[in-house]
Every structure is written in C-alpha cells, then in structure tokens.
Structure 1
Amino acid sequence: MSKLVTVFGAAGFIGRYVVQELARRGARIRAVTRDPHSAQSLKPLAALGQMAIVRGSVTEEASVAAACEGADTVINLVGILSEGEQTFGAVHVAGARNVAKAANAAGASALVHISAIGADPEAEPAYARTKGAGEGAVRDAFPGAIILQPSIVFGPEDEFLNRFASLIRMAPIMPVVAGNAVFQPIYVVDLAEAIAEAALRPEEHVGKSYELGGPETVTMRELFAWIARTIGKTESFVDVPDGVSGRLAAMFGWLPGAPLTHDQWLMLQRPNVVSGENGCAALEVDPTPLEAVAPNWMVRFRRQGRFTKLP
C-alpha cells in the first residue's frame, strides 16, 4: 500500500505544490489546515480518494496528534514571516515541537521539517532565532528528522517577486532597501520535489539537514533591475541607506500593512544563500533558473500584457 503522508500547512503557497507532487508520486495524503473550507482548491490536485482534508493547527496538541495518527511520514511546512495573531515562538518553536512529538508518538517512520537558511537560535532577528530554536525542538523530539532550509521561494503565487513587481509597476521611482542583500531564490516546484523526495525516500536522508537554493545568487538591486526589464518598466530606482531604512523599519514596521518590519530588515542584513553544498543535489533536484519560468506569470504586470514591447 502507498505511504500515508500527513502535511501540515497543506493549503499554503508551498503546501499546494507539495500536495501535488506527493499525489503525482502516488502517496496518500492527509492535508492539514486551520480552515478546511478555504482549502477546497487542493482537491483537484489528487485523484479521487487519494487525499483527505482535515482541520488542525500546529499550536493545538490534540489536533496535531489526531492528524499524525497512522501516518507513515509527517511534513511540517508551517511558518510565518511576521507576527500578528500568531507569534514566531508559538508557530516556529512550540508548533514545531508539537508536530515532532506527535509524529514520534504515532510511530511515523519519517518527519520532514521545513526551516530556513540562516536559522540560528542565537540570531538577532526573531524569525531566524525561532526557526533555529524550532530545529532544536524538532531534533529533541524526533532525532531522525530531515530538516530542509530553503532560501527565498518564488513561484506564481509568491509574495516575493509578485509584490516587488506590483510596486515597481506603480511607483514612478522605486526605493531600494538593502540593495546589497543577497538571495539564492529557489523555484517552488523544485522545493516541492525536494520535500517529496525526502518524505517518500527518507531512509537516504534520516537525521540530515540540507540548505536549498536556486542555481544563481542575486542582490536585491539586481533583482529589482531584472523585474523592471521583465515587466517592461524603465529602471527608476533610488537606493535607501541602511541607516535610514533601519530607523524607518524600527519606527513604523510594527504598523499593520507596513511594507517592512524591523525584524525583516534585520534579516536582509544577512546573506540568504547556501553556505556549502546545495542540498538539491542530494535530493535529486536540478534547480530551475529564475528567468526560465518567472516571466510566464509576471507578464500580467506589463502594461499591455503579452503585447507590451520590451526595451
């Protein structure tokens, strides 16, 4: 019988691609989400009877335990980029611990935990610090867990390229914060393949951690220039000194809808790139270049769509 895989965060940006890849590989899927009614778009991604959508939250131990019961493999994709209704500690540390403990208690043969490049329990940014603490909590509760640490993830529904493209399209002059910040963006389809590989063939990866990135590195300034060219917009940028942007983020980043929190500004001061060997190779994934796929959906940001004449 095919493996039963419980996926926490199945209805999120990355989760949708993970569910699709697991279904393609023949796994049975228990898709866990806080709001099953909003996750109905997952149904067409799997065959009839191949997937069940269940309610659960990583912050609720009882629902986590119920979701892990009988699972061969558990995947935890849950994470937040800024605090609001939920806190970093509750999601990245306590939530990760809940999943790891439940997976162990349920007798799951594997746990795949998604963290992030730069996760460090001693880091100054709360995001990176809680991600690092979460990894420790996972290792304590499930020593053989497979931990994946991706760089920035891009794809058709991301809040990375699409957000910047929307701003660049509208702004006559676009301020560039942390222009020298370095990323190694990974395509969401590639990340989903890596996660599915670890989940369905865990025996080759037990207890390992992998940093995952795309085939190239890019600075924030270079990324903005590429986006402008891709959507047919004249490059009109002004670099904001770190001292100024840091103070603004500290003063106003806590406001609802702020474009950049102070914690996110701190994260931009740290390279978001693979520090050693790219784990994509170990997980049999050939990373996709940004320019090979992103223009296919970023065309919607061009003034006349596909009929826009590019410079």
Structure 2
Amino acid sequence: MLLVTGITGHSGRYFLQELIRNKYEGPIRCIVRENSDTTLIDNSGLNIEKVVGDLENQEFMDEVMSGVNTVMHIASIFYSVTLTRAAVKNDVKRVILVHTTGIYSKYKSASEEYKGIEKSIDKIIKESNSTIGLIYLRPTMIYGYINDSNMIVFIKMVDRLRLFPIIDQGRNLLQPVNGRDLGKAYYQVLKKSNIMSGDYILSGESPISMKELFRLISQILGKKTTFISVPLALGVFMAKFLKVFTLGKVDYIERVQRMGEDRSFSHKSATEDFDYEPMSLSEGLKIEIEEYLKKVQ
C-alpha cells in the first residue's frame, strides 16, 4: 500500500493528477485534514482510502502506517520525524520525503532547523537498525499556482510598481521549479522501485538572476518597469526597522538577506536517475500570470 501525505496541497494535487493520468494500480491511503477539499480524490477513479488525522500525533501515525510499504511524504518537513518513526516501527520498505534546498542556506535560521530534523531522522533509522529505504527530494523555490507564496508575490509587485527596488543589482541566482514538474517527479521516483535511497534536487530548467526574473515577469505582464538597485545592507536595515516598528509582527529580515544569496542548484542526478525534465521558466510563468490576470480582471 502507498501512503501519501499532503495530497490536497499544491504539488500534491499535481502528483494526484499524475496518478490518475497513469491509471495507478494498487491501494492508496491518504491522510487529509477534516476541512480538506477532497473532490479530486473522490473523483479520481483510483483505489484511495481517505484517513482524517493529525500528522503530529505519533499514536495516529503508528496506526495509519500499518500495512504500508511505501510512503510519499509531501506535507511539511516538520512532520517528517513523527512519520519516519512510524514507518520504521511498521517495517515500511521505502520512504520518500519532500524536503527543501533551504538546508543549504548560509543563514542559520533558514538551515539549522532543517538539518536538525534530518539528523533526528538518521538517528531514528540508525538506532533501530532499520533497512528502510530513504529518499530525499529537495525542490527549490516552488511556483505555478495562483496562491503560491513565492512567485505570485513577485507578480503582484511587478504588476503594481513601475519603480521597482531590487537588492544588489538583482545579481543573485534563482532556479524556481513549477509544481507541475514536481508532481511528475514524485510519480517518476515512485515508479522507479529500484531507487531505494538518494538525495535529489528538483530545480527549474536553468538558473536566472533575480533582475532577469523580474524583467521576464514585467515582459509577460506587458508592463514598463524601471529597476532601482538597493544595497543589501540598506535592505536589511529597513527590514529590521519594519520588524521593530510592527513589534515583531512583520519579519522580512531573513527574506531580504537571502535575496543576496544564490539559490540555484543542479538537478543533474534527478535527470540521470529518473528522467526529470522541468519546463522552462517562461512557459511556467505564462501559465501562472494568465491565471493571475483572470482573477484580478
């Protein structure tokens, strides 16, 4: 049996669409929230069992893992320890964890917690002498849906501002990945039963500088945008001032700091091992911007 978490989320829905498109055979157990929209699940035509529960509840996770041989964990990295403990207890053969490239950040607040989680997972497996297969999938900045928390913010800003501030000439590199490509990648890994362990980055087609990204968004929107470079130090200062002014309610310090950090990573291993081929950024942006424009018109 396949256990899936986060299937009603953004990339999870694209994964479900891949299961449907490929007519996945075999039982699937999905953990959902009580208020989750399960329409796609209900109309999928697949052999899916829905279970409502809390991923933080160890007793629940131990029970729901019974009879499972493969796990696709798309929900938050912060549930991975509880899930892994349950998987080991139930002798699950393979666990695929969707984590993050944030673990590679030079800023401790962005990476130390993620590193701590993965150290805990390694400790659980080591201390139990488990032979479980553990696969990490690490998406870069995810975009591709109208309410994502990344690209849609940039799209709205470029749409509204004709004078656009960018940090340090916008030279830092990004490699955003579309949620549609993630759904395909999850399915490709699932079907490659010979892959029992690995650490794979799931990035976009190629790197792009922050400035070029904003220019591309502006071009697709049909806007004329003038970019003004802001020194990183000034941007951080303003973010700190905003945090103090709002009594800590608005904290963009780390977000601004990371605008001076390259976040581009090669997906060569994923391409070699399971034929991962992401779409171009321009193609993905056109889809998202079209959805955005329909919503605001």
TM-score (norm 2): 0.84
State the distance in 1 between where 2:218 and 2:241 align.
29
The equivalent of 1:56 in structure 2 is 53
1:137 deviation in Å? 2.4
Residues 127-155 of structure 1 show CA distances to partners (whole Å, capped at 9, x for unaligned) of 32222222222333346210111211221
The equivalent of 1:132 in structure 2 is 115
Asked if residue 153 in structure 1 is aligned to residue 151 in structure 2, the reply is: no
2:272 partner letter? A
Match of 1:141 among 124, 144, 159: 124
Asked if residue 11 in structure 1 is aligned to residue 8 in structure 2, the reply is: yes
What does residue range 55-134 of structure 1 map to in structure 2 within 5 Å? 55-79=52-76, 92=78, 95-120=79-104, 123-134=106-117
Match of 1:46 among 36, 44, 47: 44
Mapped contact 1:23–1:50 kept (Cα < 8 A): no
State the distance in 2 between where 1:70 and 1:101 align.
15
The equivalent of 2:28 in structure 1 is 29
State the distance in 1 between where 2:178 and 2:267 align.
19
Residues 236-295 of structure 1 show CA distances to partners (whole Å, capped at 9, x for unaligned) of 22222100111222343585874x622333433332222573423322122210112331
Mapped contact 2:162–2:224 kept (Cα < 8 A): no
1:191 partner letter? L
The equivalent of 1:210 in structure 2 is 200
CA 237–40 in structure 1, closer or farther in 2 if over 3 Å, else same: same
Structure 1 unmatched ranges of 5 or more: 80-90, 307-311
Mapped contact 1:177–1:242 kept (Cα < 8 A): yes
Task: Give 3-state SS (helix, strand or coil) of 2:103's partner.
Answer: coil
State the distance in 1 between where 2:72 and 2:112 align.
21
1:58 deviation in Å? 2.8
Task: Give 3-state SS (helix, strand or coil) of 1:237's partner.
Answer: strand
Deviates more, 1:144-153 or 1:263-272: 263-272
State the distance in 2 between where 1:231 and 1:196 align.
33
1:294 partner letter? L
TM-score (norm 1): 0.80
Paired residues in the alignment total 285
Residues 156-197 of structure 1 show CA distances to partners (whole Å, capped at 9, x for unaligned) of 233222221112112232222462221112221221121122
Residues 96-121 of structure 1 show CA distances to partners (whole Å, capped at 9, x for unaligned) of 1111111121222110011122415x
Asked if residue 235 in structure 1 is aligned to residue 225 in structure 2, the reply is: yes
State the distance in 2 between where 1:202 and 1:70 align.
18
Mapped contact 1:110–1:145 kept (Cα < 8 A): yes
1:70 partner letter? G
State the distance in 2 between where 1:265 and 1:64 align.
37
Task: Give 3-state SS (helix, strand or coil) of 1:11's partner.
Answer: coil
1:206 partner letter? M
Match of 1:298 among 267, 289, 296: 289
Mapped contact 1:151–1:213 kept (Cα < 8 A): yes
1:42 partner letter? L
2:191 partner letter? L
Mapped contact 1:7–1:30 kept (Cα < 8 A): yes
Deviates more, 1:5-14 or 1:267-276: 267-276
Q: Return structure 1 stretches of 4+ with deviation > 6 angstroms.
A: 303-306
Task: Give 3-state SS (helix, strand or coil) of 2:28's partner.
Answer: strand
Mapped contact 2:70–2:95 kept (Cα < 8 A): yes
Asked if residue 193 in structure 1 is aligned to residue 184 in structure 2, the reply is: yes
Q: Normalized per residue, which structure has more helix?
A: 2
State the distance in 2 between where 1:261 and 1:17 align.
30
Mapped contact 2:203–2:267 kept (Cα < 8 A): no
Percent identity, aligned pairs only? 19
Asked if residue 172 in structure 1 is aligned to residue 171 in structure 2, the reply is: no
CA 116–101 in structure 1, closer or farther in 2 if over 3 Å, else same: same
1:45 deviation in Å? 5.9
Asked if residue 263 in structure 1 is aligned to residue 260 in structure 2, the reply is: no
